[in-house]
Amino acid sequence: MTFNFEAATDTPVNPADAARARVRAALQSSGGVAQSARPPRPPRKPKTENAKAEHAYKEKTADLYKAQGYDVAHVDYFDHLNKRKHDFLGCFDSIAFGNGETIAIQYTSQGNMSARKTKVEGRAGYRWVKKAGWKVVIIGWEKQANGQYDHKIWEL
């Protein structure tokens, strides 16, 4: 018995392969560009100076406390749905554990420290952590003319 090659080409084609062939033919006939119902997405905005500075404050604060023997956990998060940052208990950015104590940390620029103090003292979370015996600090960072960061620490 011999194999009939002509009959083998008459076999049904895989539906997925047929769909790909139709799409390929449509693209080739339209010049190779498929029309989209949605306009292209605009380019992403670069980070603002404020966002860059806040990231620097976060890293500098972690480095400061790690050098003193603390373990630092960043407890704030960014909500991508609502495009905003949420602090732990509404007022803390980081928590440092170690040396027999726990420290709740709010970091900011030096010019904004008094506003952050008002914010922290007005939240229920502040009262809860003070009742639990935690230290609460506000760290203000400022970039000097030589590029180095200087900090102030207020303990509440």
Could you read off the pLDDT of 18-66 as tens digits, one per residue? 787 788 777 777 665 555 556 777 777 766 666 666 677 888 888 888 9
How would CATH label the architecture of 49-155?
A: 3-Layer(aba) Sandwich (3.40)
Q: For every residue of 61-105, which 3-state class applies, written as one string?
A: HHHHHHHCCCEEEECCEEECCCCEEECECCCECEEEEECCEEEEE
Write down the domain spans for the chain: 49-155
- pLDDT per residue as tens digits for the range 124-145: 888 999 999 999 999 988 888 8
Residue 89 identity (one-letter amino acid): L
Q: Are 135 and 155 in contact (CB under 8 A)?
A: yes
Nearest to 87 by CA among 75, 96, 97, 79: 75
pTM for the model stands at 0.63
